[in-house]
């Protein structure tokens, strides 16, 4: 199999079927229509003298234009550089330079009058994602590029006088080791690093996604993750398009109220959620349930709580569209209580474990086989996992450093070959940095990361579990747990709406309400993991691309 052939076959087989629909505008294009758009961008790239190996970045909100430009880049034989639109433009330009980006497609509203393109000296050209505007040009006159964009439809018609028809190639076949895409790591522990993925790295994930039924043929799906991350791109875009699914493109995936409206209207059969988003949706539904007069009435009746819980399950199913056969929840450690509550609601949910360096998935178990507390089963025939023993008092005896090897594992980071070598063992296994256990059936349980362990005189603490428990409390919006002067400190940005609701009843300060919330969570933790001090932040905490808190920003 070949990565481009996978898409050629899917596009040809589903030529007249809907491929993408933009939720906000209702614009719908077929697989054939998407192929035409891609061919149009190929002609533009040819005339811009881009070629195989040219580094082309795509940055912006979830949109049909974003998908078009990414698909056009990888099927053209160029290298797609992607970033989710969560960084400042200054940070983005510095990261694009790190990846030697030459051409950038971007949403125009992300560029301001003070944007300093000198931060990316390799960048030759910046074009709007819809290919209508030249934003910056270093070598060619802007008028020349603008004229080319104006004539692009004419150029396309002259190149394909009968139209772009089924069976026409959507791009050259790529050798397995051909560099295809650069994704940046999330930056939870250290600064984001560019991960260079080859055709076979991505192909392995795409083929597995098809076989696992993550995007059933002609099924309605919703882009519920941000494009530009490895998960949001490969499993929320590439796998659906390779499977012949219908993808509804929704822009503001962090607006949980609007996202639930989309789910109810589209009724997706499968969906991918971050654990943060899953937690927020569940808590939002629970809060709605509590406010209903019917719930209050039922809870006063003998046995009424059982009926109220059934109603809660119904509300949760409705929040996800009432038609969902599986929810894949990933990105970070989850509290077992949350996944238990979601599954108890009748939602077939499973937790997945992945790495940018592996193009997405490392562990996945179908929801009907999922073992609570784990992060999925090692994907057979694609990747192997092993543990290098590492013991710590208070941690599982069978814990170790998780190392992976297989088709989907990157060859290197793009920024530094020498540094890349330190991330691999002498016999070729990638060192993930995660501490985990793996049982005899391949079920992975993530304990934490070595780089984030907090060593106190009373013992060593993995902060991830504590952070998850704290973040699930209604009054806590964001949290990071760090060590300071041999004490465990929680830096918290509160949920001001939830705090205000409690203040009406308690007439207490924000600090008092947050401290009480931490005290409640402490009761669920062993003494070694108890939070000693609480700091309430007046500003939102610094986030990574996947919505976690940037530990490097606070741990030093």
Residue 345 in this model has a pLDDT that exceeds 90: no
| In the chain, domain spans | 3-249, 279-322+333-451, 453-555
Contacts of 505 (CB under 8 A, 6+ apart): none
Identical fold for domains 3-249 and 279-322+333-451, yes or no, is yes
Where are the extended beta strands (E) located within 324-452?
326-330, 349-351, 353-355, 360-363, 383-389, 400-406, 412-413, 430-438, 444-449
Q: Residues 471-480: pLDDT tens digits?
A: 878 889 889 9
pLDDT value, residue 92 = 92
545 pLDDT band (50/70/90 cuts)? low
Residue 218 in this model has a pLDDT that exceeds 90: yes
pLDDT value, residue 190 = 62
pLDDT value, residue 186 = 76
What share of the chain in percent tops pLDDT 70? 94
Q: Residues 287-324: pLDDT tens digits?
A: 877 777 666 666 666 766 667 677 788 888 999 999 99
pLDDT value, residue 368 = 92
336 pLDDT band (50/70/90 cuts)? low
pLDDT value, residue 498 = 85
Both ends of the chain: CA-CA distance in Å?
Answer: 47
Q: Is the dihedral of CA 477, 543, 68, 201 positive or negative?
A: negative
Residues in the chain: 556
Helix (H) or strand (E) segment spanning residue 33: helix 31-47
Q: Mean of the per-residue pLDDT values for the chain?
A: 89
SS3 at position 239: helix
pLDDT value, residue 490 = 94
pLDDT value, residue 290 = 75
pLDDT value, residue 391 = 86
pLDDT value, residue 547 = 64
More confident residue, 20 or 276: 20
Q: Are 118 and 138 in contact (CB under 8 A)?
A: no
Euclidean distance between CA atoms 74 and 77, whole angstroms: 5
Residue 41 in this model has a pLDDT that exceeds 70: yes
* Rounded average pLDDT over 449-465: 88
| Best mean pLDDT range from 32-36, 340-344, 520-524, 550-554 | 32-36
Q: Residues 172-204: pLDDT tens digits?
A: 899 999 999 999 987 666 678 899 999 999 999
Q: Could you tell me how far CA 240 lies from the centroid of its own chain?
A: 15
Residue 165 in this model has a pLDDT that exceeds 80: yes
Read off the DSSP letter of residue 542: P
pLDDT value, residue 304 = 64
> Considering only CA atoms, which of 84, 99, 233 is closest in space to residue 179?
99
* Rounded average pLDDT over 396-400: 91
* Rounded average pLDDT over 490-503: 89
pLDDT value, residue 123 = 96
Q: Which CATH class is domain 3-249?
A: alpha beta
β-partners of residue 24 are none
Going across the sheet that includes 487-494, the strands are 476-484, 487-494, 533-536
Q: Residues 268-284: pLDDT tens digits?
A: 999 998 877 888 888 88
Pick one of 3.40.640.10, 3.40.50.12780, 3.40.50.720, 3.10.20.340 as the CATH number of 279-322+333-451: 3.40.50.12780
Euclidean distance between CA atoms 556 and 536, whole angstroms: 18
pLDDT value, residue 331 = 53
Least confident of 90-94, 138-142, 189-193, 210-214: 189-193
What tokens were used for 498? 């939830």
* Rounded average pLDDT over 229-234: 91
Q: Which CATH class is domain 453-555?
A: alpha beta
> Considering only CA atoms, which of 550, 552, 554, 519 is closest in space to residue 534?
519
């Amino acid at each position: 199999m070949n990565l481009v052939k996978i898409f050629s076959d899917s596009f040809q087989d589903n030529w007249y079927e809907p491929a993408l629909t933009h939720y906000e505008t209702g614009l719908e294009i077929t697989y054939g229509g998407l192929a035409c758009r891609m061919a149009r961008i190929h002609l533009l790239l040819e005339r811009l003298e881009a070629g195989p190996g040219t580094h082309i970045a795509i940055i912006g909100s979830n949109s049909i234009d974003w998908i078009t430009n990414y698909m056009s880049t990888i099927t053209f034989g160029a290298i797609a550089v992607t970033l989710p639109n969560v960084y400042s433009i200054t940070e983005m330009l510095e990261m694009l330079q790190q990846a030697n980006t030459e051409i950038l497609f971007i949403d125009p509203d992300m560029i301001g009058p003070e944007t300093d393109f000198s931060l990316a000296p390799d960048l030759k050209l910046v074009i709007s994602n819809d290919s209508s505007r030249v934003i910056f040009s270093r070598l060619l006159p802007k008028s020349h590029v603008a004229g080319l964009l104006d004539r692009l439809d004419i150029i396309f018609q002259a190149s394909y006088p009968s139209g772009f028809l089924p069976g026409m190639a959507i791009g050259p076949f790529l050798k397995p080791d051909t560099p295809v895409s650069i994704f940046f790591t999330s930056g939870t522990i250290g600064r984001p690093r560019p991960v260079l993925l080859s055709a076979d790295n991505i192909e392995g994930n795409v083929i597995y996604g098809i076989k696992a039924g993550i995007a059933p043929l002609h099924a309605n799906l919703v882009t519920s993750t941000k494009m530009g991350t490895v998960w949001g791109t490969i499993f929320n875009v590439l796998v659906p398009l390779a499977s012949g699914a219908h993808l509804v493109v929704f822009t503001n995936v962090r607006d949980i109220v609007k996202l639930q409206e989309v789910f109810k209207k589209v009724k997706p059969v499968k969906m991918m959620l971050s654990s943060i988003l899953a937690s927020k949706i569940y808590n939002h539904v629970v809060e709605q349930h509590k406010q209903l007069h019917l719930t209050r009435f039922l809870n006063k009746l003998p046995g009424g709580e059982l009926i109220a819980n059934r109603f809660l399950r119904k509300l949760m199913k409705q929040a996800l569209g009432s038609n969902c056969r599986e929810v894949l929840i990933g990105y970070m450690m989850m509290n077992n209580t949350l996944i238990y509550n979601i599954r108890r609601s009748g939602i077939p949910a499973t937790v997945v474990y992945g790495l940018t360096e592996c193009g997405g998935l490392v562990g996945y178990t179908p929801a009907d086989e999922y073992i609570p507390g784990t992060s999925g089963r090692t994907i057979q025939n694609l990747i192997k996992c092993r543990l290098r023993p590492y013991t710590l008092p208070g941690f599982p005896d069978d814990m170790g450093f998780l190392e992976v090897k297989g088709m989907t594992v990157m060859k290197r980071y793009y920024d530094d070959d020498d540094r890349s070598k330190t991330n691999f063992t002498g016999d070729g296994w990638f060192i993930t940095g995660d501490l985990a256990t793996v049982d005899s059936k391949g079920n992975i349980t993530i304990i934490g990361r070595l780089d984030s362990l907090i060593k106190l005189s009373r013992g060593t603490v993995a902060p991830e579990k504590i952070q998850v428990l704290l973040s699930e409390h209604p009054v806590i919006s964001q949290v990071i747990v760090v060590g300071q002067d041999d004490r465990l400190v929680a830096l918290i940005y509160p949920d001001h709406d939830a705090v205000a609701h409690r203040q009406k009843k308690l007439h207490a300060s924000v600090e008092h309400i947050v401290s009480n919330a931490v005290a409640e969570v402490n009761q669920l933790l062993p003494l070694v993991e108890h939070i000693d001090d609480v700091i309430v932040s007046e500003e939102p905490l610094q986030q990574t691309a996947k919505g976690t808190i940037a530990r490097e920003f606070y741990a030093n």
